[in-house]
Amino acid sequence: MAANSISHCFSLSITILFLYLLLVHCNVTYDRKAIAIDGQKRILFSGSIHYPRSTPEMWEGLIQKAKNGGLDVIDTYVFWNLHEPSPGNYNFEGRYDLVQFIKLVKKAGLYVHLRIGPYICGEWNFGGFPVWLKYVPGISFRTDNEPFKKAMAKFTQKIVQMMKDENLFESQGGPIILSQIENEYEPESKLYGPAGKAYVKWAAKMAVGLNTGVPWVMCKEYDAPDPVINTCNGFYCDYFSPNKPYKPTLWTEAWTGWFSDFGGPNYQRPVEDLAFAVARFIQKGGSFVNYYMYHGGTNFGRTAGGPFITTSYDYDAPIDEYGLIRQPKYDHLKELHKAIKLCEKALLNSDPNIVILGSYEKAHVFSSESGGCAAFLSNYNLRSNAKVTFNNMHYNLPRWSISILPDCRNVVFNTAKVGTEASRVQMVPTNVKIESWETFNEDVHSVDDESSMTVKGLLEQLNITRDTSDYLWYTTSVRISSSESFPRKGTPLTLSIQTAGHGIHVFINGQLSGSAFGTQQKRKFSFTKNINLHPGENKISILSIAVGLPNIGPHFETRNIGVQGPVVLHGLDEGKKDLTWQKWSYKVGLKGEADILGSPNSITSNDWTRGSLATLKQRPLTWYKAFFNAPGGDDPLALDMSGMGKGQVWINGESIGRYWTISVNGNCSGCSYVGAFRQTKCHFGCGGPTQQWYHVPRSWLKPTRNSLVVFEEIGGDASKISIVKRLTATDK
């Protein structure tokens, strides 16, 4: 018995020692040069793919394409408002299944950077915050505020514990090598002053105390406390250095393009410039680059923020919104990654020696006995190519480019020389017929009767809707006696409305009088229009519309939308009548929303009306329903909504998102890769709608009888809605 006990204890000790050594071995560390995984320093390329912006059926294919494109890491935010829609009630199902997404990344042999935040910005509704957080007593967002810190810590701990339970941190043998706490806080920190600095220190200490075994980062936060690494976001990050000499130089968002807002242009960042930016970063000592976005995807439902961010979040990424490879961006970056990996040993074992080759030309040379020699030859001239001599050899450098020489002699890659043909995208009609159209009209006359409350004065929209709907009705009455003379002689009767955004439709006695909208640049706007009133009681109904909640800036607790006033009638005998402080009735949402018309089985068919669509053109606040069979094949699908105005659309009860065919306001005069890229460059789409096509995931369809439900706010021709498929080819 004694011998057996000793043997058992010895075996147990060996097992414990092995597990301990395994854990130590798997810890992710860093030094001034790079992140080290299992003790090995690496140059790492990463790409942002956000799990809720695609479908679970797409995830594996997207991840594999990222791997084939030369990526080592998948980066994703964690979306608090999706996962905790109400306090303490969590959702990690379907598109929100974070654990499954990370396991698929592991299956593909890639690493994960988990950006918990939990504030994310991301052009996402309310920056990823759940709206209920705004109503926690005494809360002040993203500062040294106990109610906010308590909620933030609870959610962060929830996510970290989920990852630990599934052994997903690299310290447990999982794929997660980095985590992020907070997000782009530096611009806000200055506004919060000492409370902001205290908050940053608290957030860092809270995160590090969770003992994940992997480093934490804070992007765009210069004073990130040790051991948290501060990182860079931007179009270019070669200027960036971490706040301590023993931290690596990491680029957490290399912007591959830019997001679109309704009414704005679509952006395309030339891949020559993107590759140039990455090579500039690496030659300055950078060792981690994450492309934001590598696949942008779709803002399904009402998840788009901004406000006014489009449903498409394509971002001109290497993998497009539909999951198709975008050339030449994909292949050119893939070749860049190969070239830099050939230089990895030299890059990680030496510091650059800078050699001046000309007025605009330099060589960054990495040389060591253990790492060999690698060189980056750059030409920053905007106008002309250059011929340079380096190591007694002659090289031609195109303008605004960098050549990579893994052996300090032979060029294997130049950022301006693209060898892949450009993708040619076609949205091709299918032979699918959308049939059995029915309609349902919102009854503006009954809005007052269905109002949930009546109070004196104008109320802020979000406080009432709690973001359960984009829509809030404001209704009041104006009595005109038969003896009154109005409008005043020679003066039209005019209604003026001041609003905090984002849009309104104004109805006078049940008839649409006009509409007005803000823009992303100017969210607050005014409505002024001549109207007709009659003697007796007149009803003024204003349908206020949100187009995504703000996702950036300080003090989320103070954000407001809706009709703020004043609301004034001009032109009466008495001059003007201020309606701001009289009684207003409020109704959240639409009757169609209450009846869940977006669901195929929501109400009986008797509530819908069959009839010719020709008689319904340009009728506001109309619901449309029809059915269609799924097109054959596996090509990605979209709805062409160019014949409609503005609204929302559902397929089989799944929300495709908001649509709006507002025309592009931009400068589509041309696009050159030369020179620094900014949002003012490379505009596309002028003359057409910002977004015409809306992604329909194949996994949302049945073989036959798929329901299509559309809510149209302004008026359109539903008969022109069609199912198209997205095809790509390359220019010959």
* Interatomic CA distance for residues 517 and 663, integer angstroms: 13
Rounded Cα–Cα distance for residues 455 and 605 (Å): 36
* Catalytic hit among 182, 184, 188, 335: 184
CB 249 within 8 A of CB 241: yes
Q: How far is residue 239's CA from residue 70's CA, in Å, rounded to a whole number?
A: 25
Q: Yes or no: say if 169 and 212 are a contact pair by the CB < 8 Å rule.
A: yes
For residues 451 and 475, what is the distance between their CA atoms, to the nearest angstrom? Answer: 9
Tokens 């809706």 -> residue: 562
Q: What Å distances lie between residue 433 and 361, 647, 657, CA to CA? A: 60, 22, 22
Q: What SS3 class is residue 413?
A: strand
User: How far is 365 from 679, CA to CA, in rounded Å?
Assistant: 33
With H, G, I as helix, E, B as strand and everything else as coil, classify residue 521.
coil
Token pair recorded at residue 239: 């200027």
Q: Which two tokens stand for residue 7?
A: 């043997």
Q: Which amino acid does the sequence have at 478? A: V
Would you state the structure tokens that stand for residue 648, as one six-digit string? 């929302």
Q: Which of 88, 167, 84 has the alpha carbon at shortest distance from 118?
A: 84
Question: CA quadruple 269, 272, 276, 278: dihedral positive or negative?
Answer: positive
Q: How far apart are CA 440 and CA 245, in angstroms?
A: 65
Residue 648 main-chain phi, psi, to 5 deg:
-140, 160
- Give phi and psi for 592, each to the nearest 5: -65, -35
Known active-site residue 146: no
221 annotated active-site: no
Two structure tokens written together for 110: 């890639």
Q: What is the dihedral of CA 284, 286, 290, 292, to 10 degrees?
A: -30
Instruction: Give the DSSP letter string of 192-215.
Output: HTHHHHHHHHHHHHHHHTT--SS-
Which of 123, 253, 442, 557 is the catalytic position? 253
Phi, psi of 168 (to 5 degrees): -100, -10
Q: Which residues are catalytic?
A: 184, 253
